[in-house]
């Protein structure tokens, strides 16, 4: 695209909008319809970085079609489905803007709030502006409950700077993005990492809308994975659970010792199958839980030592920044996405 190269050469990109998408063919047209006028009206040089997270549906084809009439749309396609946070990493690594907004593709986060975020960041010189969900009534009861538990836990673990009810809709300054890029973390959970950076931040409230189309890409298993990554990424406290359980079991053991010795002295030692069996099963379960907890941390160490990239870029419709990001790019790959059947 000649216009795009011109834009690259003469105008530094002020705003990048990073959108991870996985099988979002149903939501994509509505997203473009709502996002594009907002950005046009904003009137600053911008790019929309659509990160196609290994979609198997027509997402790639639709993106290629939208690009024909929208030069600001840039497509970064990953080789395989790498997960929401890894797709976000790919987008942040490659975004060129002085400010970077991350947005979900399903329009649960309103693009209309982007100008407010940018204005707030510029007016007050902030590096981070969180989109904070003022109203989650559109989410299911279970999602609201689990989100409530999750944020309470996270504030305890990662500190009170973690805003409650702030997901991955946020604006970051170039300084904040560069700080994130410099982190060695592999299993990233941005909603904890970003507040942890300690940059000056502000908030913009919004109403969480229902998913515009398609189905959630965060089934229960992935939610649990995110929660485990969040906890193990920020705290070694669960490892201490083993110590506390051990201490508790020791106290119980002392009491039982008194009981068994008394029973022995009184000559009433034959019955006891129930207590014995319960004791064995209990200790076995506690030990397995502790080994499992230990395993989570060993797993993190293992991943960190392997130090593999968390995503691979198949193609990027803009020229890749030199040495940009963890993703290796295959130069043999065509620049224009090939529509899938
Ligand atoms: N997503 C992704 N890769 C994945 C799963 C999700 O890029 O493996 C994207 C998805 O397309 C969406 C965003 O992450 O743009 C949030 O996912 P979703 O809306 O399904 O999560 P929920 O809002 O239900 O928590
Ligand atoms: Mg969603």
The answer to whether the CB of 167 is under 6 A from ligand 1 is no
Classify residue 180: in a domain, yes or no.
yes
Q: Is 129 exposed, middle or buried (0-12, 13-18, 19+ CB in 10 A)?
A: buried
Ligand 2 centre and the CA of 17: distance in Å? 16
List residues, by chain if needed, whose CB lies under 5 Å from ion ligand 2. Answer: 104, 106, 108
Q: Clarify whether residues 186 and 323 are in a common domain.
A: yes
Classify residue 259: in a domain, yes or no.
yes
Ligand 1 atom index nearest CA of 23: 11
pLDDT at res. 337 = 43
* CATH number (domain holding residue 77): 3.90.550.10
Query: What residue numbers bound the domain in which 320 lies?
Result: 2-217+309-329
pLDDT at res. 330 = 46
Q: Quote the number of domains for the chain.
A: 2
pLDDT at res. 24 = 94
Distance, in Å, from the CA atom of 112 to the CA atom of 206, rounded to the nearest integer, reads 10
Classify residue 41: in a domain, yes or no.
yes
- C-alpha neighbours within 13 Å on the C-beta side of residue 134: 6
pLDDT at res. 60 = 94
Q: Clarify whether residues 194 and 175 are in a common domain.
A: yes
pLDDT at res. 320 = 52
Ligand 1 centre and the CA of 148: distance in Å? 19
Distance, in Å, from the CA atom of 230 to the CA atom of 26, rounded to the nearest integer, reads 30
Ligand 1 atom index nearest CA of 20: 7
Mean pLDDT per 10-residue segment, the chain (341 residues): 49 94 94 95 95 94 94 95 94 96 93 96 96 79 83 79 84 97 89 90 89 81 85 81 81 84 80 77 82 86 87 86 46 42 40
Classify residue 224: in a domain, yes or no.
no
pLDDT at res. 35 = 96
**Ligand 1: residue whose CA is nearest its atom 24:** 216
Q: Clarify whether residues 71 and 189 are in a common domain.
A: yes
């Amino acid at each position: 695209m000649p216009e795009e190269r011109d834009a690259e050469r003469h105008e530094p990109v002020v705003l990048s909008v990073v959108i991870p998408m996985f099988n979002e063919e149903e939501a994509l047209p509505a997203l473009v319809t709502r996002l594009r006028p907002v950005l046009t009206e904003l009137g600053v040089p911008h790019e929309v970085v659509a990160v196609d997270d290994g979609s198997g549906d027509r997402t790639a084809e639709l993106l290629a079609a939208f690009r024909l009439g929208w030069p600001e749309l840039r497509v970064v396609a990953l080789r395989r489905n790498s997960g929401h946070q890894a797709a976000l990493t790919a987008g942040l690594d490659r975004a060129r803007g002085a400010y970077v907004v991350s947005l979900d593709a399903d329009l649960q986060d309103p693009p209309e709030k982007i100008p407010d975020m940018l204005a707030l960041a510029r007016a007050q010189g902030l590096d981070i502006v969180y989109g904070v969900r003022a109203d989650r009534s559109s989410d299911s009861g279970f999602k609201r409950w689990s989100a409530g538990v999750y944020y309470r836990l996270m504030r305890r673990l990662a500190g009170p700077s973690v805003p409650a009810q702030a997901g991955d809709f946020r604006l970051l300054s170039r300084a904040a993005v560069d700080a994130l890029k410099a982190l060695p973390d592999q299993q990233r959970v941005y909603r904890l990492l970003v507040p942890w950076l300690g940059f000056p931040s502000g908030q913009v409230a919004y109403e969480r809308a229902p998913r515009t189309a398609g189905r959630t890409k965060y089934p229960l298993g992935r939610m649990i994975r995110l929660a485990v990554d969040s906890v193990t990424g920020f705290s070694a406290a669960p490892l201490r659970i083993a110590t506390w359980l051990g201490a508790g079991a020791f106290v119980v053991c002392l009491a039982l010792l008194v009981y068994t010795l008394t029973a022995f002295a009184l000559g009433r030692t034959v019955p006891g199958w129930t207590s014995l069996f319960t004791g064995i099963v209990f200790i076995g379960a506690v030990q397995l839980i502790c080994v499992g907890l230990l395993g989570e941390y060993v797993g993190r160490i293992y991943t960190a030592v392997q130090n593999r990239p968390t995503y691979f870029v198949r193609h990027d419709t803009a020229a890749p920044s030199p040495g940009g990001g963890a993703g290796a790019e295959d130069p043999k790959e065509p620049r224009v996405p090939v529509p899938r059947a």
